[in-house]
Structure 1
Amino acid sequence: MASSSIPAGGHSDPTRRDFLMVATGALAGVGAAATAWPFINNLNPAADTLALSTIEVNVTPIQVGQAVTVKWRGKPVFIRHRTPEEIKEAEAVPLSALPDPQTDNARVTDTAKKVRPEWLIMIGVCTHLGCVPLGNKPGDPKGEYGGWFCPCHGSSYDTSGRIRKGPAPKNLVVPEYLFTSDSLVRIG
């Protein structure tokens, strides 16, 4: 009869060598993961960056017709409490008159889809070359359309932050935001 590799007991019992090979492989895998983890974790955003990813702003002190500028992710964000006249003026503009057609309601809807036309929240960076448009403070020029004016190249934005005249190709960007209460808005 030919000899077989099965021991006399009739089945293949794991040997001490098999156990040591499996244990060594498992230990090597755990060691590789423990060594790689600090490098992988280093790719996550820093705590200070995460803290700035969202901000909450109390809008109660902002009077009708007034605007404030807050800083979010290193950029100015304009928060304007619009007057009923500004809202009517923005809604009356035909889309065909806009270089970047977008309705007023589309710009002032928060992420929970609660339309609040009295609040306009947008990133205050001109879409042409990244300048900061004027128009948030008394005495600032507001351009021909009563909104914001970028003096660097003459871009004029209306009361909804939409480009109306000048070289800017797009409207001022509306960040993701959510009214968490009647007085608090979370941006980001």
Structure 2
Amino acid sequence: MSHALSVVKVGGSLVADRARLCRLLGALADGTEGPVVIVPGGGGLADAVRAAQGALGFPDPLAHRLALDAMAGMARIFAALEPRLEVTQDPAQALGAGAVPVWDPSALKAGRPEIPETWDVTSDSLALWLAARLGAGTCLLVKSADARLGAGPAELARTGLVDAALPGFAARFPGRIVLRGPGGDRLCRAALAECAA
């Protein structure tokens, strides 16, 4: 595991605060969090998919794939706001080339047995999935709301601050999980190795 690497999920809800979003993307490009892979939330683009599904009743697997397209669109928007970021489907390769990658999850549209194609899985769980695949030491979830001090993955899911599948994905990720809201960082779980020590 590369303890230095962090996967940073930037919530699409931050679009409502352009100044905060741009400051955050600039800081990540500057390397203030060390080496990072940015996972974009779907934001209003994913909300449009939800609304269309509600109106038209198409199945969850299609909605899931369209939400992945929404994340890919937000990745391109983030790169337009901060040109030092590189949109890529292969963040490991981009990191190796010295870039600051923003993940385009489009390859997941082919399906993965460990990723349910429902609204229970959003960019929160996908960030943990990617962090586990990359061997990251930390998964940082940047949100527009604060978590209660000491809240763990299950409580965050119960309160709706993260998606319903996140506790299961958290169980498969051995690193630290941190939620950052406007009030600062909240450690949601220490690295499992630290917990066992």
Normalised by the size of structure 2, how large is the TM-score? 0.25
Higher relative contact order (CA 8 A, sep 6+): 2
Q: Which has the higher helix share?
A: 2
TM-score (norm 1): 0.25
